[in-house]
Amino acid sequence: MNYHGAFSKIGILMSKAIFFNIPASGHINPSLGLTAELVRRGEEVVYFATERFRPVIEATGASFRATPIIDDHYIDQPGLNGIDPSLFAELMIGTCRNLLPALVELVRTEQPDYILHDSVCAWGGLVARVLDLPTVVSLALWSFTPGMLAHPPGAPDSGLSHGIRFHQISRQIGAQYGIRPLTYAELFNAPGDLTISYSSAELQPEAHLLDERFHFVGSCLAARGDEPDFPLELLDGKRVIYISLGTVLNRNADFFKSCLNAFSEGPYTVVMSIGNRLSREALGPIPANFIVRNNVPPIEILKRSALFISHSGMNSVHEALSLNVPLLLVPQQAEQALTAARMVELGAGLRLEQTSPESLRAAAEKVLNEPGDRLRASHLGASLRQAGGPPRAADLVLARVAAPAGKGA
Closest CA to 64 of 97, 96, 32: 32
Give the end-to-end CA distance of the chain in Å, rounded to a whole number: 14
Please provide the CATH number assigned to the domain covering 16-218+387-406. 3.40.50.2000
Domains 16-218+387-406 and 232-385 share a fold: yes
Amino acid type, 177: Y
In the chain, what are the domain boundaries?
16-218+387-406, 232-385
Q: Which fold has domain 232-385?
A: Rossmann fold (3.40.50)
Burial class for 285, CB neighbours closer than 10 Å (0-12, 13-18, 19+): exposed
Amino acid type, 273: S
Q: What is the mean pLDDT of the chain?
A: 88
Radius of gyration of the chain (CA): 21
Rounded-to-integer distance, Cα 40 and Cα 20, Å:
19
Residues 256-290 pLDDT 10s? 999 999 999 889 999 999 987 788 888 999 999 99
pLDDT of residue 280: 83
Residues 120-145 pLDDT 10s? 999 999 999 999 999 999 999 989 87
In this predicted structure, the answer to whether residue 405 has a pLDDT above a threshold of 50 is: no
Say what the pTM is: 0.86
| Cα angle 389, 47, 193; round to 5 | 60
Identify the band that residue 2 occupies on the pLDDT scale cut at 50, 70 and 90. very low
Residues 290-328 pLDDT 10s? 999 999 999 999 999 999 999 988 889 999 999 999 999
What angle, 0 to 180 degrees and rounded to 10, lies between the N-to-C axes of helices 371-385 and 314-322? 100
Percentage of the chain surpassing pLDDT 70?
A: 89
Q: Which of 35-49, 64-78, 333-347 has the highest mean pLDDT?
A: 35-49
Summary count for the chain: helices (H), strands (E): 15, 13
Closest CA to 298 of 348, 335, 244: 244
